[in-house]
Structure 1
Amino acid sequence: MSGERHIIDLTRTIEHQQPGVKIHSAKSLKNDGWNASTLELYSHSGTHMDAPWHFEVNALTIDKIPLDRLMGRALVLDISHVGEHHLIRPDDFKNQLENVKKGDNILLKSGWSQWFGTSKYRDNLPRISKELALWFGEKQINILGVEPPSVADVNNLEEVKEIHQILMENNIIIIEGLVNLNKLKKTEIMLMAFPLKIKDGDGSPARVLAIEDR
């Protein structure tokens, strides 16, 4: 990539009382000499990354994911036309899949992040079909990033387990809860996604960035 570089933050800001988040004052400048906070974070809160150990597909934990897998070329595929509860299949992408190469990173731009804070965000999400999960596996996709809080229907445990396991068995890193995909101008970007280095972690909140050459 060459030319002017733009960095777009695809990470939701972590705030107190978001689902799975509690932030309390631990120290104050007035009383203790410095400001500090105690953070209580569910490992899959906000913008987060799943490790295969999340579903015990294998023993790879979040701290052991190779760093060279966490950055690289990514394609932004637009599925903003799909509706609530939609089961996303390969034919929903029309001709967009023609550009997908083995080993690519994929971000699905659905616009779903706008519903954060409503029951719709969690309960009505569009999700990955088994057919699409297998297709991504055949393409040896490296990272799959989505805006909803999950790649599957969180109210259907069987589906959640099946879709996560298919993706993870195919060595695909899953990132959920992305934001700001509507700010991307390009369909090809440089992606950087870094979780907290939690020993034996099943997942972690992650800082996810897109770099565009405009």
Structure 2
Amino acid sequence: MAGLSTLATQLLDGSVEVIDLTAPLHPGTPILALPPEFGQTATFELEEISRYDDRGPAWYWNNFRTGEHTGTHFDAPNHWVTGKDLDDVSQVPPGRLVGPAVVIDKTAEVAENPDYLLSVADIQKWEAGHGPLPGGAWLIYRTGWSARGGDPAAFANADDQGSHTPGLTPDAARHLAATEILGIGVETVGTDAGQAPGFDPPFPCHSMFLGANKYGLTQLSNVDRLPVTGAIVIAAPLPIVSGSGSPCRVLALVDRTT
């Protein structure tokens, strides 16, 4: 109890900072566009119900329409065929939505090469300096990509060869899926690289992470404000029954006294 009381005091006095890792959700929020032969997710739309008028004199509210995987969102295991018999987003235990965060920073490499892929060697180099990846942690892959979030074309970074955005090698995805981390958080539209449809297997993060009962957090922002270790990340998706994911608010708690 003393620990929670201390945390409450630290939140009030600002010695523990709450950082919002969530990108704003609006009609211009970038979405993942699939080849035209596949089904497409809906962009975010608000439909006004009333706004202090004859439809409702004292209240303002809206309906909204969008896809489960729009904006900053949570990938549940059943989002991918490898996890089709695992939890939907409403079934994810709440204790697995909160965990310590570790940050692997490859912003310099991605600035030189937008197709940069995090490798097993990168992960091992990080562990050599900071210790093994802790069990029950969120691995946050910092790439600087969220700086493009206000421009959907720059965010997609696509040409006739497809999208060019950073991700993981299949070997790195396989390696991390065998660890005890909760999942991976990225700044891009999805957990996989833009060129991942051509990987072996295709979309290795989705395939291996979700099949291993791990999770994905995408389109994170303000990742540059996180320490390499020491933060706590809280992911809060809507508990959509039978849902494969949900837009979510992702918050980080950071101790500013150290």
Same fold (TM over 0.5): yes
Question: Does 2:49 match 1:26?
Answer: yes
One of 105, 116, 119 as aligned partner of 1:89: 119
User: Following TM superposition, by how much is the alpha carbon of 1:184 offset from its aligned partner in structure 2, in angstroms?
Assistant: 2.1
Paired residues of 1:75 and 1:106 also in contact (CA < 8 A): yes
Question: Does 2:70 match 1:48?
Answer: no
In our comparison, the structure showing a higher alpha carbon Rg is 2
TM-score with structure 2 setting the length: 0.76
User: Following TM superposition, by how much is the alpha carbon of 1:155 offset from its aligned partner in structure 2, in angstroms?
Assistant: 5.7
Identical counterparts, % of pairs: 24
TM-score with structure 1 setting the length: 0.91
How many residues were matched structurally? 214
Residue matched to 2:144: 111
Paired residues of 2:183 and 2:209 also in contact (CA < 8 A): no
Structure 1's 156 and 189: CA in aligned 2 closer, same or farther, altered over 3 A? closer
Structure 2 residue identity aligned to 1:51: A
Question: Does 2:187 match 1:147?
Answer: yes
* Gapped regions of structure 1 (runs ≥ 5): none
Residue matched to 1:75: 102
Paired residues of 2:117 and 2:168 also in contact (CA < 8 A): yes
Question: Does 2:92 match 1:65?
Answer: yes
One of 235, 239, 252 as aligned partner of 1:193: 235
* Gapped regions of structure 2 (runs ≥ 5): 32-42, 157-162
The whole-number CA distance in structure 1 between the counterparts of 2:53 and 2:134 is 56
Q: Structure 1 segments of 4 or more deviating over 4 A? A: none
Moved more, 75-84 or 159-168: 159-168
User: Following TM superposition, by how much is the alpha carbon of 1:49 offset from its aligned partner in structure 2, in angstroms?
Assistant: 0.5
The whole-number CA distance in structure 2 between the counterparts of 1:17 and 1:148 is 15
SS in 1 for 2:155: helix
* CA-to-aligned-CA distance 1:29-68 (integer Å, 9 cap, x gap): 1222221111112111100011111113233110100000
Structure 2 residue identity aligned to 1:188: G
User: Following TM superposition, by how much is the alpha carbon of 1:13 offset from its aligned partner in structure 2, in angstroms?
Assistant: 1.3
User: Following TM superposition, by how much is the alpha carbon of 1:139 offset from its aligned partner in structure 2, in angstroms?
Assistant: 1.6
Paired residues of 1:74 and 1:191 also in contact (CA < 8 A): yes
Residue matched to 1:180: 222
The whole-number CA distance in structure 1 between the counterparts of 2:90 and 2:73 is 13
Question: Does 2:26 match 1:15?
Answer: yes
Structure 1 residue identity aligned to 2:238: L
Residue matched to 1:38: 63
Paired residues of 1:74 and 1:104 also in contact (CA < 8 A): yes
Moved more, 148-157 or 60-69: 148-157
User: Following TM superposition, by how much is the alpha carbon of 1:158 offset from its aligned partner in structure 2, in angstroms?
Assistant: 5.3
Paired residues of 2:96 and 2:136 also in contact (CA < 8 A): no
Paired residues of 1:103 and 1:139 also in contact (CA < 8 A): no
Structure 1's 17 and 78: CA in aligned 2 closer, same or farther, altered over 3 A? closer
Structure 1's 158 and 82: CA in aligned 2 closer, same or farther, altered over 3 A? same
Structure 1's 156 and 75: CA in aligned 2 closer, same or farther, altered over 3 A? closer
Superposed CA RMSD = 2.0
